[in-house]
Structure 1
């Protein structure tokens, strides 16, 4: 059995993705800053017949991310899919003229250093799975492609993450590892047929299985 590791797992999109991939036989590694929350979600999934386990990590600490992903592999099996989708902190979202260099440290650690650490941890194992198996999925808000003057930290950091993901898509694609990005404009809306967690989870499943594009964008409209 192979595993999906979801960094930033929670009761919305993370849970929906866990159920979608779990239904296909994946074990699910749930990674969050809050051990109790992912443990509770893992129990819910286990009651539905999905093998899942929670792991604690701080995405702003590269060593913490690497350790959690190593534990996922040891506990659940090889990581075939990595999803990077933690929710940014509210204090990252300041107006552009009020944003100082110090205000950008957190967003950059969160959206660039974290993903880089995660990718370096999982790619060697994905190479052993064989061609057209491994997948890395990035989930971002709309400011990744259209910056907002009142959300400067995420706009700058998400743009950097998007550039990193695009470069990975080109480089790792040559090895048969898929790298894709899901951009969600305006936020997730529970129950919505296009922007609800289940609909978005289906997009992520398709990015993994079809392997035919870099980006899917779900607009605000």
Structure 2
């Protein structure tokens, strides 16, 4: 294929879309993946209208067969993956005393199962210096009881990211997480386009396994 590709897993209208746009403006081919076909079609169309080389494939990261199908298709297309943003997470809102174990396991299948599926099946398509980034959140550091499942899922993702980072470092691959220490909202420091700029900068610099995106102190 020749062109560098970024794969956005769990693409939506916020961080996923704006990160795709940021990489696209830098000359990347953008591959969007998510479960909702209609949303993917609209996001791809919106990016193409901005002059960005974008395509999409429906994929449920929690399903290993679904991830393998996408990986096989990308291999057939001779895709070279330079970067991945894993932006999928399970997090059913509930206090811990009311959380069922089945819900917790279902959420973890998205957050951790999905992350492993994507990394393991896409890795053969990575370039020698590829980057695998995970969207993190402050709940991974400071859990919030009403979102107990999201908190533990983000903590688990951060833990797995660190383990992958340490394992892959000697292979030239970079695995990292950008921990967003605030609520994503348009028109603020935590606007998705600003976070996308930070993600791209993180991709370029690869300073450490984690960067914390937080508002500067006054």
Assess same fold via TM > 0.5.
Answer: yes
Q: 1:79 aligns with which of 76, 81, 94?
A: 81
1:216 aligns to 2:218 (yes or no): no
1:3 alignment partner in structure 2: 5
What is the root-mean-square deviation of aligned Cα atoms in Å? 1.8
Q: 2:131 aligns with which of 112, 132, 135?
A: 135
- Report which stretch shifted further, 211-220 or 110-119: 211-220
Per-residue CA deviations over 1:13-33 (Å, capped at 9, x if unaligned) read 111111110111100001111
Query: How far is 1:155 from its partner?
Result: 1.6
Q: Give the aligned length.
A: 214
DSSP-derived class of the 1:137 partner: strand
TM-score scaled by structure 1?
Answer: 0.89
Check conservation: 2:161, 2:176, Cα contact below 8 A: yes
DSSP-derived class of the 2:144 partner: coil
DSSP-derived class of the 1:64 partner: helix
2:163 alignment partner in structure 1: 167
Per-residue CA deviations over 1:105-155 (Å, capped at 9, x if unaligned) read 1111011000000000122222xx22xx20001002221221112211112
1:12 alignment partner in structure 2: 14
- Report which stretch shifted further, 165-174 or 56-65: 56-65
Q: 1:196 aligns with which of 191, 195, 201?
A: 191
DSSP-derived class of the 2:171 partner: coil
Instruction: Provide the C-alpha distance between the structure 2 equivalents of 1:144 and 1:72, rounded to a whole number of angstroms.
Output: 32
Q: Could you list the runs of 5+ residues in structure 2 that have no partner in the other structure?
A: none
Instruction: Provide the C-alpha distance between the structure 2 equivalents of 1:212 and 1:140, rounded to a whole number of angstroms.
Output: 16
Query: How far is 1:2 from its partner?
Result: 1.4
Query: How far is 1:188 from its partner?
Result: 0.8
Instruction: Provide the C-alpha distance between the structure 1 equivalents of 2:207 and 2:72, rounded to a whole number of angstroms.
Output: 29
DSSP-derived class of the 1:108 partner: helix
Per-residue CA deviations over 1:50-91 (Å, capped at 9, x if unaligned) read 1111211112212212322443454582111111102545xx
Query: How far is 1:44 from its partner?
Result: 1.5
- Report which stretch shifted further, 164-173 or 210-219: 210-219
Check conservation: 1:84, 1:115, Cα contact below 8 A: yes
2:97 alignment partner in structure 1: 97
1:112 alignment partner in structure 2: 112
Q: Could you list the runs of 5+ residues in structure 1 that have no partner in the other structure?
A: none
Instruction: Provide the C-alpha distance between the structure 2 equivalents of 1:63 and 1:48, rounded to a whole number of angstroms.
Output: 33
Q: 1:34 aligns with which of 33, 36, 55?
A: 36
DSSP-derived class of the 1:154 partner: helix
